[in-house]
Amino acid sequence: MTPHIESNKEDIAKTVIMPGDPLRAKMIAEKYLTDYKLVNSVRNQLAYTGYYKGKRVTVFSSGMGNPSMGIYSYELFNFYDVEEIIRVGSCGAFDKDLDLYEIVLVDNSYSKSNYLEELTDEVNNILSSNNDLNRQILDTANKLKIDVNYANVYCTDVFYNHVDIDYLRENYNCIATEMETFALFSNAMKLNKKASAILTVSDNLITHEETTSEERQNSFNKMIELALESIK
């Protein structure tokens, strides 16, 4: 047990699929897992451990933002011996041609966050996801005939900010923005673990198209299936 997780160590699988939304975690468990059980409900950050086609997996909600992701992924990696975490979440597109529901596999996360510096004293604003995990995901996407945009994202600490999209695209090749990858990749780097992120475009900052909160909770099935098939 930790201050934020009530599970026993044996309750948590070595592989974790990590949505931000607790209700999305619940939906994933109910729709895709067999023999699952609720293993955490502290602060309503729901987590379930079960089996996907014979593979033991935990689905654990992270909450929103780098600090929340930072707490849960750190404790899972450091105290529960989790080996790999795949974030499954939403992102806002910086490209008018990046349609709603398209899939983004994160290569690098650029951020102005000082999370890594607070954690390690290292100053670095660009962190990479894990190459081995990404190869698994890309190979699986190819088998499933799922189109994937393998690219960089901007990880922000402020949702309602006025980002300079042209600057981020031209200098860091970012095609979308989200709020959790930088902390996840920081913890993975510090603790020598594996982490990646598969994102679904929920809104487009150029065209102003957007999905509803219900759609974000329940309709990102392609991303979820890609993550689960990749770790099978």
Q: Are 106 and 200 in contact (CB under 8 A)?
A: no
- Cα separation values, 93 from 101, 148, 200, 204, 208, Å: 10, 14, 9, 5, 9
Q: Are strands 15-19 and 84-93 parallel, antiparallel or unpaired?
A: parallel
The DSSP bridge pattern shows strands 103-111 and 126-128 to be antiparallel
In this structure, what token pair is assigned to residue 218?
A: 């329940």
Q: Are 174 and 188 in contact (CB under 8 A)?
A: no
Query: What would the two tokens of residue 134 be?
Result: 């990404």
164 as an active site residue: the answer is: no
Q: Distance between CA 92 and CA 77 in Å, rounded?
A: 28
Catalytic pick among 11, 107, 157, 203: 203
Closest CA to 116 of 126, 106, 131, 105: 126
Task: List the catalytic residues.
Answer: 203
